[in-house]
Every structure is written in C-alpha cells, then in structure tokens.
Chain A
Amino acid sequence: MKEPVLEIRHLTMQFGGVVAVNDLNMHIDEGEIVALIGPNGAGKTTAFNCVTSVYEPTNGAVIFRGMPIARNHPSGRMRKFYAGKEIDAFSGHVVHNTPDKITELGIARTFQNIRLFKGMTAFENVLTAMHLRRRSNVFTQMLHLNGQEEAAMRKETDRLLEIVGLTDVKDEMATSLPYGKQRLLEIARALATKPALLLLDEPAAGMNPQETEELSAFIRRIKEQFSLTVLVIEHHMNLVMDISDRIYVIDFGKLIAEGTPEEIQQNPAVIEAYLGGDVD
C-alpha cells in the first residue's frame, strides 16, 4: 500500500490550560481533497499551524511523505499541566522545524486572515514566493547576473496569475484587490513555492456567491494541473460536500467524525455539533 502524503498522529496542542487540538489523528492520501471542518474555535487553524511548524505541538507527530516533520511530547512544566492523552507515546527524540523548511519540503498554505505582502503588487507577491526555488546566490543577484533565472520566474509568475485569473490586475497593489481576488492571489502565491500538499484555510471566506461557486471547480482544476494533494478548512458546507473525497470533523479540538461527505451528512454527532444546523 502507498503511504499517505500527510499523517497526523495523536496531535495535541495546548496553550496554557486551553487544549486547542486534542489527540487528533488524520491521514491524507496522494491526490485526495480532504476537508477539515468544525464550529468556530474548534482548533482547525491551530492544526494547520502545527502541520506547518508555526507552533510546536505539545504532543504527537506530523509525518509528511514518511518523514517526521514535527514530533514532540510534553516535558518540563508542561508535563504537569498536560491535559491531553498519550503522554508517553512520543517520548524520545523531538523533531522541530521552522515554517520555511516545511514549505521547502513541499507543503504550502494560505491564511484565514489574508496575509499578502502589502507593499507589493499582485505580480511581486507571486514572484517573491519563488525565492526559495532560486539557485543563484546573493552576489549574482545583486549584480543581476541571474537574468535567465529571473526571466523564467517572471514567465512562470505570469502563468500562475493567468491560471488564477488575475492577469488584468497583476500590477495593482495586492491589498487593494477585492477579498475574493486576494484569496485567489494567496493560492497563486502558495503554488509558486511548488508544493505537493496544499493547505487552504477558509478559501471562500469573503468571496461572493458566484466566486464561491467557481471555487470548487477551480480547486479541482489546480489539483489536477499541479498534481496536488489538498487539505481544506471551510465553513461553506456546499463547497465542502462538493469537493471533498473525505471529511474530518472536529469540535473542541477533538475529532468527532470522519468519512465521505454522505457519511458525514448522516452523522448524528456532526449534526449535534452544528446544532442541528446548516448541514444540508
């Protein structure tokens, strides 16, 4: 059997007394689109931040293509306050990375609260994200002797902007674009890092209904075009049910259900968590 692209094992993230993610187990196989859903404050973004090493998990491990990219166990003072499970399962060596290393390995992400480079145009935002794939050093760049590489990257940037449909606004300041376009620009920027796994944190937030409608086809298209595996956090249930191969549901940091969209829609625990709500 093929190993999963991403595997999350007993992941727990505790901030002081708050257990934001509690013993989360997930796996994502090559080429899948998986959704992570849950009510506000459920710990979805925190899980993303643990995968991308923005946070060092309190306990558990994250494995990317068979390689541990984060692994930790409660130690020191945290051992006393630890409120999660499996306290001794991950003792032994600790793996800690910085977010840039994770991106280099092939995991790219977008942000729930859009984080574009505000002093730059749309074009420059995408071009800057290619920086990590450069081969030229600071001196050849300072003397602008890397013309070929630079030209190739500018061409690639143009291509990415065309794919997300932002060619006509590429010279505008990124932050002056409407929300929906800023979200697309964030995706283009993430693609520029040449990822294998793409993490999208609420890509439809702030989009108008038409843009949201187009988003599922768009995500599927880029998945095929760039041979991606996608993990998406989203509140728009229509979108989630439409694009996901599988869905994980968390509430108060804990996994309460997993399965196909059909299974999730029937799941009583999920309906409960959403207060008999808008799962339709």
Chain B
Amino acid sequence: MQKQGKKSISGATWVSLCLIVLVYVLVFIAEQVLPPTSMLFTVLKKGATYALIAVSMNLLNGFTGIFSLGQAGFMLIGAYVYAVFTIPLSQRMSVYQYYDGGIVQFTLPIFVAMILAGLVAAFFAFLIGLPVLRLKSDYLAIATLGFAEIVRAVFQWDKLGPLTNGSNMLRMFPNFNNFNLTDAEGHVTVYLSTLIPFLISGVCIALIVLLIHSGYGRALQAIRDDEIAAEAMGINLFHHKELSFCISSFFAGVGGAMLAMYQTTVQAKSFTSAMTYEILLIVVIGGIGSVTGSVISSFLFVACSEWWLRFLDEKQMIGTFEVPLLRNGFRLVVFSVVIMIVVLFFRRGIMGTKELPDLFRKRKGART
C-alpha cells in the first residue's frame, strides 16, 4: 500500500516530468534543424498559446465548476495591453497614424507587458465577478459572453483610438521571432521562437497545476463537487469563485498576449465568441477536469485546423480526375463532423479526468 499521507513525488510523476523535458528538448532541436517556415512551428506556437488558454478555462469549468464564456474578451484585453505597451516608440507614429502616434509614449519590457496583460484581464474579471458570483454563478456564462462582445465593440470605438488605435490594427510590437538570438549582422544563430512560447506556456500551466494540487485547489474542487457541503465546511463560495475566476482570467490575458505575438498583429474584431467556442471545444475534447487533456487537445485541434485538414480546402487532382467536394470551406464541414463524433461518442474527452502521471500508474484499483 502506498502511503498518501506523506507527500512525496511518485515514480509516475518523475516519468511524466522526464517526458515533458524530452518534448522541450525535441522542440529545441527541431527548431535548429528544420526550416523556420515549416508548418510544424506554426502549429507548435499556436498550440502552446491555445494550451495555456484552454487550461485556464479548464481551471474554471473543470475544477471549480463555474461556467464562463468570456475567454475571447479576456484574451482581447491581454492582447491589447501587451501590444499597446510594447510597440517601439519609433514605430508609434506609423501604427497610430490616425491618432498622432497615440497617447502611450513609453514601452515596457516584453515580460512586464505580458504580466500586466494578465493583471488587467484579472481586474476586469474581478469587477464582473463582484455582482455575478455573489448571487447566482449560473449567470456568469451570460454575463461574460456579453462582456466579451462589449469589450470587442469598445476597443474598436474611435474615441478610444489614441489608446487602442480604434478599428485599425496594432502591429510592429515584438513577436515570437524577437526571441531568436542573432549575431552582429542580424543572422539568427539560435532559434528560440518556438521554445520560448513553450516555456512561457509551460511555466503558466505548471503554476495552475500547482494551484490545483494545493489547499485552495482542493477547496475549488469541493465547490465543484458540492457547493452546499463546501460551504458547510467553511469554504466561502464567493471568495473562492472570485479567486478562481481572476486567476483563470489572468492566464487568459497572458494567453491573449501570446496570441498577439503569434499573429504579429492585433485587431479587436477578430476576438469573436467563435474563438471562445474553439477553446471550449478544446477543453471538452481534451476532457473537462484534465489539464493534460486540454494541452494535448490544443495541439491536435490546432494541427487539424491549420495543417492536416488544409488540403480539404484546395482542389485536388488525381490524374485528370478532380476529387469532388474539395473546395474552400469544406475543411470546416469535415472539422465540424469530427468534433460532433468526438462529442457524441467520446463524451469524457480524450483524457476524462486523468492526468499524465495517471497513465504511468497501475490501474486505479491497484492503488488502494
């Protein structure tokens, strides 16, 4: 019998950690040897970004049991905060060409701007949570959905142009390629443009996992399992839900900043609720209540939508025979069908509520 009272890192956890390190090493090596234009890196960068956002959503939906649909809104806030504060001074005149270079006339270091992106997103979450989470958290989904739409409109409002550049895009801010090390002539010596987003995302997800495995994490799971019992055990529902919501939104904001870097440009109108549904699908496909599932499904989802199913959108000829159906938009049809199949037949998602170390453990029954 394994003694659980004493906390020690089990063998399965070590295997998982080694596996994760191995992935990072492989990413680093791949980046040095493969051409940087390879589709693989697009998928890895966007996948890492989505993984963080999906895990942040899972913290709320899967581990606290409250449902938010505001992910796109918090990502938008994160993306804008990051972009606004990192566009180099010399470029501001051209970016904010209709607004005399904008009102922000200083720049922050990349990582400071990313943290600020998270903090501002968390602050808005705090404000929404104050009225909504105090009474019925059932309304959170609607409130956050509305919030995301409002944010999207407000950020395009031309009165705010000096700050947000109105409906024009923000660009020229540092992106993932700025992480590459270059020599004096500007040639890249070491490619880090995929590894760094992996590291950022990895650190953030590790923090969320640590939170889940702390006393607070257990309190959140108690709320998910039974609100009335949790409250009777002295867990203040409002404080803990608000905390979870703010932390989740903080990481969604950081994820938004990463998305801005990935896209190299930011425009409010692209942060639609469809983006939130994408994230929600990733969480469901991965397994609600599994961090590992969210991460794996992020990469699969991004790979399918950006890469593996692309051919469906192009005319394909086999000899002189033109394959029917393959035209622009067909990819989305196939994609939807795949998702429907997953949701219908693999309801618990890829991982259910299992995590990576569980895969290396003997079956559950053997634990007791």
Q: Point out residues on A near B: beta carbons under 8 Å.
A: 52, 54, 98-101, 103-104, 108-109, 111, 115-121, 123-124, 127-132, 134, 136, 138, 141-144, 146, 150-151, 153-155, 157-158, 169-172, 189-190, 192-193
Contact = CB atoms under 8 A, between A and B. Distances in A.
Contacts of B182: none
Contacts of A189: 233
Nearest to B228: A115
B226 A115 contact: yes
Nearest to B353: A119
B19 interface: no
A198 to B, nearest CB: 12
Nearest to A142: B211
Given A123-B5, A157-B5, A132 B221 contact: no
A131 B225 contact: no
28 contacts: A54-B232, A98-B231, A98-B237, A100-B235, A103-B233, A108-B233, A109-B232, A111-B232, A115-B232, A117-B221, A119-B224, A119-B289, A120-B225, A127-B218, A128-B222, A131-B235, A134-B215, A141-B211, A142-B211, A144-B214, A150-B215, A155-B5, A157-B5, A158-B5, A170-B4, A171-B2, A189-B233, A193-B234
User: What are the nearest 4 A-B pairs in CB distance?
Assistant: A132-B234, A103-B234, A115-B229, A141-B214
A279 B74 CA distance: 63
B5 A119 contact: no
A3 B228 CA distance: 30
Interface residues of B, number: 35
Given A150-B7, A154-B5, A170-B4, A100 B237 contact: yes
B224 A131 contact: no
Nearest to A105: B234
Contacts of A151: 7
A128 B214 contact: no
A143 B4 CA distance: 20
Contacts of B6: 154
Contact of A111 (B216, B229, B289): B229
B367 interface: yes
Contact of A142 (B216, B234, B237): B216
B229 A141 contact: no
A171 B226 CA distance: 20
A119 B232 CA distance: 17
B90 interface: no
Interface in B249-307: 289
A100 B238 CA distance: 10
A154 B224 contact: no
A190 B232 CA distance: 9
Nearest to B6: A154
A119 B225 contact: yes
A182 to B, nearest CB: 12
Contact of A154 (B7, B211, B234, B237): B7
B225 A117 contact: yes
Contacts of B216: 131, 138, 141-142
A134 B218 CA distance: 13
Given A103-B232, A124-B218, A171 B4 contact: yes
Contacts of B289: 119
Contact of A100 (B4, B210, B234): B234
Given A98-B236, A116-B229, A172 B211 contact: no
B30 interface: no
A98 B239 CA distance: 12
A118 B65 CA distance: 13
